[in-house]
Structure 1
Amino acid sequence: MKKLTVVLCVLLMLTTAVWAGGKKDASGVKTITIWDFKCGSGASKVAMEQIDALIEKNNPDIKINHVAQPDGDNYYQLVRAAVQAGEGPDIIMFHGGVQAYEFDDYTLPLDKYISSWRSEIAEGNWAFCSENGDAKKPVHMVPLTTQGFGIYTNKALLKKAGIDPEKVPATKEEFLDNCKKLKAAGIAPIVGGFSGGPYTVDFLFRCFIANIYGDKVADLAKNVDFVGNAQFKEACEIMKELMTKYIDDEASSTVYFTDAGDNFAAGKGAMFIGLLSDVNNWKTFCDALGKDNVGYYPTVNFTNASNKNVQVLQPCGIGYSIMKWSKNPEAAARVLQAYGSGEGPAIFMGVTGALGVNKKADIKSLGYPIVGEILARKSALDVTNILTNEDANSNFDRYCTEAFVTGSISIDEFIKKCQTMLVNAREAR
């Protein structure tokens, strides 16, 4: 009965979207229907309502029908159902990377639509949003944000524990020593959240991998391995120590990741492993703790590693694509341009704190020093973007839980499972 209910709900939502999408009334006004998982609530809803109103003001022949959909696996099940039906909204939001590439056969090539403003966004971002991430192939998505992970710090709490709040730890030993000092001072070193998913572990491990492999992250899908890499094993050992001593603290318990972010914003811990462009980002924490009281560590550095302080910052966090079934692709393209160029990016970044990709955006005018610090850091690709969809969005989290949350598998078993993900990626190429 539960499965039947889900199917009926999906069909109902699809039917609604089909009726609403691509309409043109007697006055010639075209209704452009958008599906996304950001417009339902919070700051994103506020920002998108402002941008949609601006689009309709500047384009009297366009009416926006913005439909909020659930985030998570249910969202992509809904998109797959639309694809199977061959009907749905004009525009769909995707996460950048493998989740978008899955639908390349059903989204329009955008090169002719973006030609007049393409130069406002770096070619590296466009390449990531091209068919299967291949720069030689057509662009299929307009990137709205970049995305990454890092370690936010509460400078006041670091200082209280006798730690220089302006100094990024140069070594893992220094980082762990800071954690020890914080705990001795009665301060939770790292505020974490594990209910609903091991995001604290997942995000930090992706930071580790970026710093270990640097510009060779993409080569993990070719001929570079996890097995036999001393720094990768060292990362596992550090994670184990953090989970044993410094993350699973009173401020962490079994809360959800978003609630853990609220705890950090309330001053209940010194560090938080968070997103750079989504919930619990720099803006949330700066607004809560003070713009000059929030610091940032890009990662943890490893013994004898060739890279230092390399962060995860992928070329696209979320973006919009036009579906091939849209009856008004030109109008839909104007909607994408309004979100990717002009006032749109500034509105979205200023309201939500999501890091934009448009080079014309005035970062300094935001008034948050931490943004410039993040964007100035050397970055590497997020490892999940070279994995298969199943491994990137399901299996990796499961392995992180088994190895570091429940402890049901050993570090060596975790490394073998991660290596299997690389084998799967190579076989899928």
Structure 2
Amino acid sequence: MSLVVMKFGGTSVGSIERIKNVAKIIAKKKDQGHDVVVTSSAMSGETDRLIGLLKEIDKDYDLREYDALVSTGESASCPLVAQALISMGYKAVSLSGIQIGLETDHAHSKARIMKIDGARIKKELADGKICIVAGFQGYNPVTNDIATLGRGGSDTSAVAIAAAIKADVCEIYTDVDGIYTGDPRIVRKAKKLDKISYDEMLELASLGAKVLQSRSVEFGMNYNVDIMVLSSLEDKPGTLVTKEDDEMEQVVVRGVASDKNQAKITIKSVPDRPGIAATIFSRLAKEAINVDVIIQNVSTEGNTDLSFTVSKTDLSRSLTVCRETAKEIGAKEVLADEDIAKVSIVGVGMRSHAGVAAKMFEVLAANSINIQMITTSEIKVSCVVDEKFAELAVRVLHEAFVED
């Protein structure tokens, strides 16, 4: 007998019919002799509906109230899943983030998990129950306020819970049947992967692949939790996210991803002296704004232009911070461009293969796609391009690196 954490996304619990189907999948796992903990997302569309209501009242809403509101989506779906199991004759109990002791920091709407007390879950399992835990939510132990983990946070909840209770595997059930080399909606010849390394999946998740939240992969990697991505709609083999092995290094590029949730900010005529960049980015960090690609031009007459990318959802707050800071440091102006996208290739094989970036640039140039910004790591190359070319870029890069 093993201990299994199963996570179901919003599409999987999007209707009563689908909730009953999910209950059957959970029951089958329990019947196989496993102890089962389930993490559920809100029903599909519910979080967006709640955010829409909040925006109707005030687009500049308070983040504490945002968390209090959107967390109700998971609080509603979990009792429905639990009741479906109870109606089938199984012992089940729904639990909130607070009830399992999922403690977070103070960053409302994008809180980070600080600690999980697994005692309540272990007690319920010892009583023979299936635990249905609300994903995406926890609480700040200082204020006792509800805090949410950011979009896709149920993935993070599931893997963190699996690490806390030392589960044997964390199964993530979605509306797709695994991890693909590219988005099948964009790339006709995208291939499903049998397995992928934590490092590769972490890069793909952070670069726009929406199957897993990047923080969930980080938890899996840090705590050695195998993650299996499966379909809740079809009984098919999935993709295992696990430790890197020698076989994985033989593939140069594992996948191609794009992210249209990007915006570029340019601060013009920034005084080129020590400490200026630190001032700008520390102010952004204080607002919990993540900055990605950064480019600083060569200094001219003591001034330079500084460009960087943020998520579109953070653009408004980022501009407020940057404009205030620009006045203080004597910069000329702050510009924003929302019509961009980031296109990336990822693969652990890049570590031992030369010329990958050069080939990527050649492929984009051959298709008249201009590169605005570039960033690299050992296992990825990302280019910021005009948003209207994002899907074309994904297709031609997939053809060049994966189908070749």
Q: TM-score, normalised by structure 1?
A: 0.24
Higher relative contact order, chain-length normalized (CA < 8 Å, sep 6+):
1
The structure carrying a bigger strand percent of its residues is 2
The structure carrying a bigger helix percent of its residues is 1
